[in-house]
Amino acid sequence: MLGLYIHIPFCKAICTYCDFAKEVASSDKQDAYLNALNKEFEYYQDALKNVKTIYIGGGTPSALSDIQLNTLFTIINTYVNTKNVIEYTIEANPNDITLAKANLFKKNGINRVSLGVQTFNEKILKVLNRKHVNEDVYNGLKLLQDAAIHNINIDLIFNLPYQSIDNVKEDLKAATQLPITHISYYSLIVEENTKLYYDIQNKKLTLNDEDIEGEMYETIIDTLTSTHFDQYEISNYAKKGYQSKHNLVYWKNEDYIGIGAGSHGKYLNERYYNTRSVKYYIENVLKTNHGKASRYPYEPLRDTMLMGLRLTEGVNLKEIKDRFDIELLQAYPKLEDYIKEGLLELSNHYLRFTRKGILIGNIIFSLF
Ligand code: SF4
């Protein structure tokens, strides 16, 4: 399985919590970016013949005009045989969806759309500087259905400013009534250099404590798993048969090519990170044909454990032994302690988090 991630770093407005590579840019700059993307596709042209999953993320890919999206799809179709692609996702903001865009997606082989909903609480959406309202979500879903796109994820966030456990329950109620197949539900991370971080530092906003965050997370797991959304990863839930194949490429530590500013890839025994700035990305690609700003050797055991433990099925220690010639529990004796403390469990050779362990995953991840 080889994945392809394409980053579109443009947004119509900037959300208060966002640390992704993104900017509000002129249409000319967006066109120059697409031109640079084309060159970077050319750089990876041999590898791209084997791509099986595509994910167009951002930023906000749907912030591009229909003409620009057409250009993007033409580039992709030039280098990738999309007939061999088993999952082809594009991210969209609910208020960007029109029937013309939905049809454009469908016509170009998109078979999965990921909508940035974040919460159904319109007051909190305003605090986050999100520009959609709930009506946009319902309309957007209807238009996608009309265009015969039925595999739909929504992104939600919990532990938001002003959010109570009751608010999370309301979000869950709204989400589980939608015609969707997948939910990505992340806890808010307050990143430096965001307006949210600044407002918290200046005591304009406060966040819930860790106990409430933990209670929200448990409420989410309980509610979603009892409404046919199986938890298959720390923050991801899917109806039967709808686990994200592209994201599984990351979690199963397979190769993927990242194209565009702020993207990263893992290919041919190295991890690489592209420059985040759109301006420098365009300059770099024009000079070197790629956007790589840094490269690191791939660390197979570490990466396999860090990624694999995110999955609820866990990591198969027999496979680890065969692949790396290592008895993991002997190499990392602390793991036995975590098993005794009920934070990890070992069953049928799979090492995985327990419910108690998943809440403090970072301590266990730090072992690797
Ligand atoms: S969260 Fe998404 S829409 Fe908001 S600024 Fe970041 S990339 Fe843009």
For 326-344, write each residue's pLDDT tens digit: 999 999 999 999 999 999 9
Distance from Cα 315 to the centre of ligand 1, integer Å: 32
Task: Say how many residues make up the chain.
Answer: 368
Ligand 1 close to Cβ of residue 18 (< 6 A): yes
User: What is the pLDDT, as a whole number, of residue 322?
Assistant: 95
Ligand 1 close to Cβ of residue 265 (< 6 A): no
User: What is the pLDDT, as a whole number, of residue 289?
Assistant: 97
* Separation CA 154–CA 166 (nearest Å): 20
Other C-beta atoms lying within 10 Å of the C-beta of residue 56: 27
User: What is the pLDDT, as a whole number, of residue 362?
Assistant: 84
3-state secondary structure of 335: helix
Other C-beta atoms lying within 10 Å of the C-beta of residue 22: 22
8 phi and psi angles, rounded to 5 deg: -110, 100
User: What is the pLDDT, as a whole number, of residue 23?
Assistant: 96
For 4-52, write each residue's pLDDT tens digit: 999 999 999 999 999 999 999 999 999 999 999 999 999 999 999 999 9
Pairing of strands 344-347, 350-353: antiparallel
| Residues of the chain with confidence (pLDDT) below 70 | none
Residue owning tokens 């600044």: 198
Ligand 1 close to Cβ of residue 132 (< 6 A): no
Nearest residue to 29 (alpha-carbon basis) of 313, 282, 320, 294: 282
3-state secondary structure of 347: strand
Ligand 1 close to Cβ of residue 11 (< 6 A): yes
- Looking from the CA of residue 93, the nearest atom of ligand 1 is 3
Q: Could you tell which of 8, 18, 24, 125 is best to mutate to test the pocket of ligand 1, judged by most ligand atoms within 8 Å of the CB?
A: 18
Q: Looking at residue 340, what DSSP letter applies?
A: H
User: What is the pLDDT, as a whole number, of residue 363?
Assistant: 86
Nearest residue to 319 (alpha-carbon basis) of 310, 311, 328: 328
* Separation CA 138–CA 175 (nearest Å): 11
Name every residue whose Cβ is closer than 8 Å to that of residue 224 and which is 6 or more positions away in sequence: 172, 176, 183, 185, 231, 237
CB-based contact 111:88 (threshold 8 Å) = yes
Distance from Cα 29 to the centre of ligand 1, integer Å: 18
Nearest residue to 236 (alpha-carbon basis) of 311, 309, 137: 311
User: What is the pLDDT, as a whole number, of residue 103?
Assistant: 98
3-state secondary structure of 88: strand
- Looking from the CA of residue 128, the nearest atom of ligand 1 is 4
Question: Which protein residue has the closest C-alpha to ligand 1 atom 5?
Answer: 14
User: What is the pLDDT, as a whole number, of residue 47?
Assistant: 97
3-state secondary structure of 36: helix
Q: Looking at residue 23, what DSSP letter applies?
A: B
Superfamily for domain range 2-251: Aldolase class I (3.20.20.70)
3-state secondary structure of 361: helix
- Looking from the CA of residue 19, the nearest atom of ligand 1 is 6
Other C-beta atoms lying within 10 Å of the C-beta of residue 147: 20
Question: What are the CA-CA distances from residue 103 to residues 92, 145, 355 (Å)?
Answer: 14, 10, 42
User: What is the pLDDT, as a whole number, of residue 359?
Assistant: 86
CB-based contact 82:54 (threshold 8 Å) = yes
Domain range list for the chain: 2-251, 314-365
CB-based contact 53:254 (threshold 8 Å) = no
Question: Which protein residue has the closest C-alpha to ligand 1 atom 4?
Answer: 15
Can you give the C-alpha Rg of the chain in angstroms? 21
Ligand 1 close to Cβ of residue 114 (< 6 A): no
* Separation CA 134–CA 194 (nearest Å): 25
- Helices and strands in the chain: count of H runs, count of E runs: 17, 15
pTM for this model (two decimals)? 0.96
